[in-house]
């Protein structure tokens, strides 16, 4: 029991010291409102400090629970939101292909201006496009060029990536998911397999009719996310703006495809422009070094303030501790994504707060 009292006295010592300091000061003597305000601010700072660094409370609670058979709970724990350079991960940059879009339509090509909406669309929405067959002569010439580029690559020479990536059998048309009005799940009347029916708007219907009219007797390929999923043969021009995707889907796959298409097909294709990976161990190492640098900086500032200004400097250090604890708590609660640059800015703000 004596040990428990000793630990509690250590815990309450800062409160008593601050209380006595203000009680005997000219401003605080006899002013109960000011003393209450000081205690309140100090309690807020202490709670914020434990929330920002709950390990200090948790270790003390574990010691008391094991030593004196108590049931002191752990402090509420909420992790910081760390950026890619601290926690590790992969940063992907996608680029929209605007080669078939007029320059005046660049700004509205995606049809959205909200960044979060764009991220959601890129992550969940497929890119639908229709392609028509190349002429036989054009196809043979392209295959011959690709063969030559492959031979270059085998010799160690740099190939023409554009030629290698070009589809030798089908060429893109102007009909894409941009003109899709809605899609729905249906079943083939002969095979009873699930199919996805597409319905285009008036402009898309006119394009679809034009494409099928000039490709009677040929194949029109339906591509989804750059992969051919159906290559039906056109027997006659199709009007009305309706098409069918039959790709041997499972029912669940067809349902998911319908949901994704109805969410809004991407109007332009996208490609991976750059990729940057940061290992988790490298991110943790950066985090440790950043925190260590911040601690050293704070101690240097605190030491200078106390030595040079004495009591006012000590009070200023307490204010800095309060500032650090409250800002760290806000970083967790909002939450703010912390990066190396953000931590450097926070350390700078501590110096500016002096």
> Mind listing the pLDDT tens digit for each residue in 179-231?
888 888 999 888 888 888 889 999 999 999 999 999 998 999 888 878 887 78
132 pairs with which residues across the strands?
171, 220
Residue 119 domain-assigned?
Answer: no
Distance, in Å, from the CA atom of 323 to the CA atom of 105, rounded to the nearest integer, reads 49
Q: Does residue 239 sit in the same domain as residue 310?
A: no
Q: What is the pLDDT of residue 165?
A: 79
Residue 70 lies in a domain: yes
Give the pLDDT confidence of 47-84 residue by residue, as tens digits: 888 898 888 888 888 888 888 888 888 888 888 888 87
Q: Given a cut of 80, is residue 274 above it in pLDDT?
A: no
Does residue 12 belong to any structural domain of this protein? yes
Closest CA to 173 of 136, 231, 132: 132
pTM: 0.49
Question: Which tens digits make up the pLDDT trace of 141-163?
Answer: 988 988 888 888 888 787 777 77
Kindly state whether residue 102 falls inside one of the protein's structural domains: no
pLDDT tens sequence across 76-99:
888 888 887 777 777 777 776 666
Q: Does 144 fall in a domain?
A: no
Range of the domain at 199: 127-134+169-267
Pair (224, 292) in one structural domain: no
| CA distance to 26, 33, 213, 327, per residue, from 315 (Å) | 16, 19, 84, 18
Are residues 263 and 291 located together in one domain of the fold? no
Strand, coil or helix: 33:
helix
pLDDT of residue 107: 53
Task: Give yes or no: residues 253 and 294 share one domain.
Answer: no
pLDDT in the model for residue 266? 56
Total number of domains constituting the chain:
3
Position 306 in a domain: yes
Domain-located, residue 62: yes
247 or 24, which is more confident? 247
143 CA to centre of own chain: 40
Single residue among 234, 267, 300 that ends a domain in this structure: 267
Q: From CA 43, how far away is CA 28, in angstroms rounded? A: 18
Same domain, 243 and 310: no
User: CA-CA distance, 70 to 57, in Å (whole number)?
Assistant: 14
């Amino acid at each position: 029991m004596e040990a428990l009292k000793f630990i509690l006295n250590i815990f309450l010592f800062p409160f008593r010291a601050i209380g006595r300091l203000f009680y005997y000061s000219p401003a605080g003597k006899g002013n109960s409102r000011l003393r209450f305000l000081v205690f309140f601010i100090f309690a807020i700072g202490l709670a914020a400090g434990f929330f920002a660094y709950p390990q200090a409370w948790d270790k003390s609670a574990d010691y008391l629970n094991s030593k004196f058979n108590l049931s002191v709970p752990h402090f509420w724990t909420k992790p910081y939101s760390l950026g890619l350079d601290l926690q590790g991960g992969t940063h992907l940059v996608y680029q929209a292909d605007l080669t078939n879009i007029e320059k005046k339509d660049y700004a509205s090509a995606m049809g959205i201006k909200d960044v979060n909406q764009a991220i959601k669309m890129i992550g969940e929405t497929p890119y639908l496009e229709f392609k028509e067959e190349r002429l036989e002569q054009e196809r043979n010439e392209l295959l011959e060029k690709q063969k030559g580029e492959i031979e270059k690559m085998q010799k160690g020479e740099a190939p023409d990536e554009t030629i290698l990536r070009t589809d030798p059998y089908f060429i893109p048309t102007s009909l894409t998911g941009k003109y899709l009005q809605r899609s729905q799940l249906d079943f083939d009347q002969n095979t009873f397999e699930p199919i996805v029916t597409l319905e285009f708007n008036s402009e898309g219907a006119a394009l679809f009719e034009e494409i099928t009219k000039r490709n009677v007797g040929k194949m029109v390929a339906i591509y989804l996310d750059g992969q051919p999923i159906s290559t039906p043969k056109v027997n006659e021009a199709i009007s009305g703006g309706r098409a069918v995707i039959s790709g041997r889907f499972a029912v669940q796959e067809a349902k998911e495809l319908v949901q994704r298409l109805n969410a809004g097909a991407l109007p332009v294709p996208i490609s991976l422009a750059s990729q940057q990976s940061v290992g988790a161990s490298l991110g943790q190492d950066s985090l440790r070094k950043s925190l260590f640098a911040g601690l050293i900086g704070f101690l240097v500032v605190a030491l200078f303030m106390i030595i040079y200004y004495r009591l006012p400097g000590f009070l200023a250090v307490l204010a800095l501790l309060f500032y650090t604890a409250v800002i760290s708590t806000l970083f967790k609660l909002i939450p703010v994504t912390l990066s190396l640059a953000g931590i450097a800015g926070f350390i700078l703000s501590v110096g500016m707060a002096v």
